[in-house]
Amino acid sequence: MSVGQDVVPKPSGKVRWIVCGLLFAAVVLSYVDRLVLPTLKPDLQARYGWTEGGYANLAIWFQAAYGISYVVFGRLIDRFGARVGYAVAVTLWTIGHVAHIFFTSTAGMLLARIPLAMGEAGTFPAAIAATNEWFPKRERALAIGIFNAGSNVGAIVTPLVVPIIAVTLGWRWAFILTGLLTVFWLAAWLGFYRRPREKKRLTTEELAWIEADPVEPQQPVKWATLFRYRQTWAYMLGRFLIDPVWWTFLFWLPDFFNKQYGVKMLDFGPPLVAVYLLADVGSVAGGWTSSRLMGRGWTVNRARKTAMLFCALCAVPIAFATHAPSMWVAVGLIGLACAGHQGFSANLYALPGDVFPRWMAGSVVGLGGLAGAIGGMLMAKFAGVILERIGSYGPIFAVASCAYLVALATIHLILPRYQQADPARLEDRTA
């Protein structure tokens, strides 16, 4: 805690929490728009004769565009700020999202899917930049936790709302109406968001609270320099190994419940809501566990890795999901794995901030996003081949069951102890 935070009283103003609410809404909408197509997939596949390979290609190219754009948006937002960066991102993804209505083949859908991915890649870099502008360190983690919860909320809302729209008005209206929501959000964002010192409604007390932390001078960092740290590789390879599992859940869970248990589009809601509610619990529990252990005097290295081990073990039982005696047993196994993923991710995502200066951590996060997207592309190709040739999710879930243990082992081999990166000497010193 900084000295400034000790002497500045907590203000009564709440403008910063309105900003947080806008960020939360944007993350919810990004996941809704991302998941409309997977929710409609069983119906559209039957109607238009999509192949599993064709759908896998949609996932592959989505993740390719997402990974590359994640890095690009990080630089764009550093240069032009959160307000402009988020506006560009939302505009781009809304155009791509609504453009889905013009196509019925997977090849055509790809033309819409790429701009959707490019825009959505700016979601988290812009949200984190806005949080850094509007929240002091003591509140920043809470603000990030709130808007990050929007990902699971979006995953819960989509299977409840989209099937009703599709059955009532037609599948194209599912894209149109959800796209209109992002247009309303964009208008609210451009009308409300400014930097704190540019916001007229902000009281002097709240501004002093926001600016309580000393400003950390930012230094330029070259991409080539980042690759010379083993901390970078530990984070990138961790993301490369675990992100593909989460992407698989997002893209294929509705299809799994349809094929395995005959669940129809209107009935996707209950099982998917249960899965993502469990994921929410895992996200909070995973972060709480390592924080609790550090509070008891454990080192960052030991606390983070212990929490990740517990979370990795939660994913192991998903290997038996295809042999579950009932749908709800399968829901429990998959939900437990999703909870493990979110808890593991909460600790892995903290790694850049644990071992790098703040002005370097963002670039490392961008590289991790790219690595995760590359892993997701490979997993999507694997899933498409398996489903076309074998027709079973068994091998896919088998890979998911061991991915987190492999990721933890890889991280530990590369980074046996969490050590602070020293950019001045390009050497490591023990944290």
Residues 228, 211 within the same domain: no
Spatial CA neighbour of 304 closest among 364, 349, 243: 349
> Is residue 414 domain-shared with residue 315, that is, in the same domain?
yes
- Statement: residue 267 has pLDDT above 80: yes
216/430 Cα distance (integer angstroms) = 21
Task: Tell which phi-psi region holds residue 262, choosing left (phi > 0), alpha (psi between -120 and 50) or beta.
Answer: left
Q: What is the pLDDT of residues 241-264, one digit of tens each?
A: 999 999 888 888 988 998 899 888
* 226: CATH: 1.20.1250.20
Q: Quick one: tokens of 81?
A: 């700020």
How far is CA 281 from each of CA 144, 284, 291, 336, 367, rounded to the nearest angstrom? Answer: 16, 5, 15, 10, 27
Same domain, residue pair 122 and 200: yes
More confident residue, 220 or 248: 248
Question: Cα–Cα distances in Å, from 330 out to 156, 399, 401, 424?
Answer: 17, 16, 14, 51
DSSP-derived letter for residue 326 is S
290 lies in the same domain as 167: no
Residues spanned by the domain of 40: 1-215
Q: The tokens of 215 are what?
A: 């400003």
Last residue of a domain, one of 215, 248, 280: 215
Residues 423 and 287 in one domain: yes
Q: Are residues 36 and 142 in the same domain?
A: yes
User: Of 395, 344, 397, which Cα lies nearest the Cα of 372?
Assistant: 344
How crowded is the C-beta side of 42, counted as CA atoms within 13 Å?
Answer: 20
Write out pLDDT tens, residues 126-141.
Answer: 887 888 788 876 666 6
C-alpha to C-alpha distance for 298 and 131, rounded to whole angstroms = 28
- Domains of the chain: total: 2
The pair phi, psi for residue 330, each rounded to 5°, is -60, -40
Same domain, 271 and 134: no
Which of 215, 250, 270 is a domain's end point? 215
- Tens of pLDDT along 170-212? 999 999 999 999 999 999 999 999 988 888 888 888 888 877 7
Identify the band that residue 283 occupies on the pLDDT scale cut at 50, 70 and 90: confident
What is the model's pLDDT at position 217?
59
Query: Are 397 and 299 in the same domain?
Result: yes
Residues 6+ positions from 277 with CB-CB distance below 8 Å = 152, 156, 335
Give dist(CA 264, CA 269) in Å, integer.
10
Same domain for 411 and 371: yes
Same domain, 154 and 261: no
Q: Do residues 200 and 227 share a domain?
A: no
**239-253, 310-324, 349-363, range with greatest mean pLDDT:** 310-324
* Nearest by Cα to 76 from 64, 66, 65, 84: 84
Residue 2: the pLDDT is 41
Q: Say yes or no: 195 and 226 in one domain.
A: no
Whether 338 and 317 have beta carbons less than 8 Å apart is answered as no
Instruction: Give the end of a domain, one of 197, 215, 233.
Output: 215
